[in-house]
Each structure stands twice: as C-alpha cells, then as structure tokens.
Structure 1
Amino acid sequence: MVPQLYLITPANADLETFPKALMTVLSEAEFAALLVTRGTLGPDAYAKLAAKLVNIGQGAGCAVLVEDDVALVKKIGADGVHITTGAEDLADAVAALKPSMIVGAGNVASRHDAMTAGEMDIDYVAFTDPDLAQWWAETFEVPGVLIRPEAKPGAADALGSEFLALSDSIWTAPSPAEAIRAIVADLETDA
C-alpha cells in the first residue's frame, strides 16, 4: 500500500518567502493534508501565516490543518485541527468541530495515549515512533500518520500507516521539489 502524503510546514515559516516554496512542493505530488505548524510564532503572526497557507493548500486539493487552535480553524476556513496538547484538548476539539471538520491527535508517545485518542471521534492518530505507528496500523482502524521528518528516498517507509508525514527533509533539501519527487518515486517503486 502506498501511503497518502501529509506535509508539515517548517516551524516559524516566513510569511513572505515560504508560500512560494510551498506552492512548488504541492505542485510535485498529491498531498492529502497540510499541517501548518506554529513553532514560536505569536497568535497574530501564526493566524496570518495559516490564513495564507489555507488558500494555497486548499487550492492544491489538500486538507489544511492548524495546530492546537480550534477557534482559528473556523476563523480562517481551515479544514481541521491537529491537537498536540493532550486528551482533554482533543476531546474539546472533537466537541467543537466534529463531524464536519478534521480532528487529529498528535504528540502521541505511548500505546495508552494512542488508545485514549483512538476512542474519541477523531480522524487520525500521528506518531513519530515507527514501532508505535506500526503497532497502531496492525491493530486499529483509525488511520495512522507516521511522521518522518528525516524521510529520504530509501528511508521513507510508512510501516503500514495510511499516511506518511514529511517535513524537515523536504524543507532543508537544496531543492524541496526534487526531494519530494524522489520520495514519491521511491514509495511507488516499493508498492
């Protein structure tokens, strides 16, 4: 199975220069989702960045998610939220946004946390631990996202997860477009 691609923006992306880089990468592959990370941006700067990237991402056909800000989802017309701050905030996001919007669980570091999140009406559980992601994919029906910041050709296996999230290795590459093309070719070869 070839996983769907999930793209994560770099932390503190620059509002003036990053949109062009994003458009280039989005034109190279089909992405199911785009997560706009907050990094250390303040609320206003993050809202401006996210609003701009919502238009770009949705224009390219992918769902755009904001990080840990349910109110911002509605304000800027994003498709949903990626919650990294625990089960209580995840439950609040589900209550506020479901069933019409996407709610995903991130920062999941244990089987217990994963199962707690999976019992809620969420759309995915995201993992950075490959073993945990593989266990989840083999055991549960709620889709899994394997976050592989270092993913490069030959090392981009999603380990059974429905989604493969790419980030740092794309944005730090000399050519982000070439990096994504190489990873996509590698995934298709392995399918």
Structure 2
Amino acid sequence: MKNILLIISFVFIIQGCKTKNEKNKTELNQTVNEITFGVKVDAKEGFENDIMPWISVKNPESEIESLIGKDEIVIERKFALLRIDYPLSNPVEIMIMSDSSKGFTRKQLIEEISKAYNQIYKEEEETSIIKTIPINEREGMINRNKTDGKYGIWGHDIDDLDLSGIMVREIDSGHLKLELNIES
C-alpha cells in the first residue's frame, strides 16, 4: 500500500513539474511588445488623422521621411529573429542585426524587412519552374499565381505588400521573434 501511495505521489509531482515547465514555456512565448507603423500623408488621401497605417514593403524609401517615430528605438536588442510567412507556403526565419548597439528603430526594421522580402521574391523567381504570370496577362482577379520555388509564393506580388505592425515575442532561446502584420 505504501508503494502505491508513493507511486501516486511521484506521478503528481511529475505532473506538477510538467505543468510548471509548460507554463514557463508559454510565458516565454508571450507578446513582449507590438510595434505599429504610420506614415503621415496629405489630407487629400483620406486617411484618419492624415496617417496611413502601413508602409510599403517593396520600396519603403519614398515613405520613410514621413514615417512617424522613424528614429525611435523600438527594440532594445542587437539581434532579432524575423519570421516571414506571408504570402509564403514555406515560411522562413532570418536573424537580423541592428546597426546600433542600442537596438532597432522603426526605420531600421522596415529597411531589414524590405531587404529580406525583396531577396525572397528574387530567389523565388530564380528557383521556380512555374513562373509568375505578368500582371497584364492575368485574367479575372489579378492576384499573383502560386509559384513552386524555394518559398512557394502565392496570391500577391511584392508590390501589394505593406507592413502595418510587428508582434514582438520572446522565445525560449532568449531571442526576440518578430511576427509581421502584412497587409495586401
């Protein structure tokens, strides 16, 4: 009888430890911060408070001067893990590094994200047997056809993509993972 009680106690202790470890793991994957992007625009464009709530992924340079808080440090780390999953069938994670020991500004983040997306779209074209149908040859909806390259891009050309925000999560390794809110 003592052995059975000892075994049952041991099982409860192990279950308690497992639950605690799972809880700690969950806590480490919690959102640390959300970074938003807004670009000051002319009132004629019709955005609330004259702020466009996103910035171009393909070519942000023309909008960076009007990017609100562009020089504000929004991630106080030298490195971050950038997750790109939209519109990719095969998501990718890329370690990015800040130019500054203080961390990343909004401007640096959009520049890194733009560089990564442009490289991904370039590699997709280079590795795909199914080529992207030119926009002037598309019928019906003018969405991009799915290609079968390294990333399996579907649905949208890079010109269609805008960054509206980033969810910053701390992961088990202690690094920050950046999950992008991409609008299309």
Q: Could you state the TM-score of these two structures normalised by the residue count of structure 2?
A: 0.23
* Higher share of residues assigned strand: 2
* Higher share of residues assigned helix: 1
